[in-house]
Structure 1
Amino acid sequence: MRILSAPLQRSVALAVAMLLAFVPTTAAPLPANLAWAWPLAGAPTVVRGFDAPAKPWLSGHRGVDLLAAQGTPVVAPSDAVVSFSGVVVDRAVLTLTLKDGLRLSFEPVQSGLRAGDAVVRGQFLGVVQGPTHCRDPAATGSCLHWGVRRDGMYLDPLQFILDLRPSVLLPLRG
């Protein structure tokens, strides 16, 4: 068995220590925002995903469309306060505001809730009812559009439900 010289042993020990510094000793917790629930029962089909526009004034899809027949119940993904409940153009819209300022919008949702009403995660908000903008024929023309905004900037709602972080391969421990 060959023994390494003292300087080489120190270099190897330093390299191993540096490598181990990047290996978590426990599983990293999921982001707190993954504590949200789906706004529809189960894990609904995403008919059309989020497509951020290159510039705020350009076209895009500022939310996700979830397959939902007319009359499907909609529930609160998180604790919030209703900040808007009414009609925009020809669609019933419900907007919730969370403590951290995020705004969640749902359309078309017929709801008996009014601005200022507090809701808790899983609470019934209303039902999908009215014209939708679904373009997928598999959606049978009906869906729930769900948008999320922070300070006027639209975010992908799925990042609050699914772990969309990239997979990272870590070295094996000795």
Structure 2
Amino acid sequence: MVLLKLATSTILGLLVLGGVTTATPSPEASPPGARWSWPLSPKPSILRSFDPPEKPWLSGHRGVDLGPTHDGAPVTAPSDGVVAFAGVVVDRPVLTIDQGNDLKSSFEPVSSELKAGDTVRKGQVIGTMEPGHCSNATCLHWGVRRGEDYVNPLGFVEDMRPSILLPLN
């Protein structure tokens, strides 16, 4: 029992000092030092959260809605990348950036002069907001895919790891 308490307090001490990482990085996590920036400034409100479907063909919300913002508001690249798509999907202008490492982010409704193959830098204005996604406000729908799977975009701009409570003694 004493050995167990000693081992526990040693592990907890290492956790507090940052010597050991216990949480496995989530699929949404980005490498340290490679944090993305918010595509809207100032930091927007989250109007609708990421709510992926259980199966790829089911309905869900495969991104986040950010805002409210206004028509013509600038949208910026959250990280360096290359424009993979710029055009209209159904009835909305969409811009998709390939960030490398099998990551692609999409923004709608965003009007842009960029075209496929253009290089963008983190923080660069990539387009302007248009109405059409949120019914009661102008908002930005931001989605991120890793390969074919949608992941939570907020994991690239916020620390989404669960909090760990440590004992006081």
Q: Tell me the TM-score normalised to structure 2 length.
A: 0.83
The question of 1:21 aligning with 2:11 is answered yes
- 8 Å contact kept, 1:110–1:128: yes
CA offsets per residue over residues 153-172 of structure 1, 9 Å max, x none? Answer: 11111111111211101244
For the pair 1:51 / 2:42, whether they are aligned, the reply is no
The separation in 2 between residues aligned to 1:31 and 1:39, in whole angstroms, is 16
Percent pairwise identity: 51
Give distance in 1, aligned partners of 2:131 and 2:117: 24
Instruction: Provide the rounded CA distance (Å) in 2 between the counterparts of 1:147 and 1:31.
Output: 15
* SS in structure 1 at match of 2:100: coil
* Structure 1 moving runs of 4+ over 4 Å: 28-31
Give secondary structure in 2 for the equivalent of 1:105. strand
Residue 125, structure 1, aligned to residue 116, structure 2 = no
- Where does structure 1 lack aligned partners over 5 or more consecutive residues? 1-10
Residue-by-residue CA offset, 1:57-86 (whole Å, 9 max, x unaligned)? 111111111112110100000111111111
User: Does 1:65 pair with 2:65?
Assistant: yes
Distance 1:93 1:108 in 2: 6
**Letter of the structure 2 residue corresponding to residue 117 of structure 1:** D
**How many angstroms does 1:25 deviate by?**
5.7
Paired position in structure 2 for 1:6: none
Specify which of 137, 142, 148 is matched with residue 144 of structure 2: 148
1:130 to partner: Cα distance: 4.4
TM norm structure 1: 0.81
1:12 counterpart = 2:8: no
Q: What is the total number of aligned residue pairs between the two structures?
A: 158
C-alpha separation in 2, matches of 1:131 and 1:17: 57
- Measured after TM superposition, the shift of residue 106 of structure 1 is 0.2
1-side partners of 2:30 and 2:112: how far apart?
Answer: 30
Gaps of 5+ in 2: 22-28
Structure richer in strand, relative to its length: 2
> For the aligned residues, what is the CA RMSD?
2.2
1:159 aligns with 2:141: no
Query: Aligned AA for 1:99?
Result: G
SS of residue matched to 1:20 = helix
| 1:26 Cα deviation from its structure 2 partner | 3.0
Map of 1:5 onto structure 2: none
Report the CA distance between 1:116 and its aligned residue: 1.1
Question: Which residue pairs with 1:3 in the alignment?
Answer: none
Residue deviations 1:110-155, cap 9 Å, x none? 11111111111101101012422x14x3x2xx11110001111111
- Pick the structure with greater CA Rg: 1
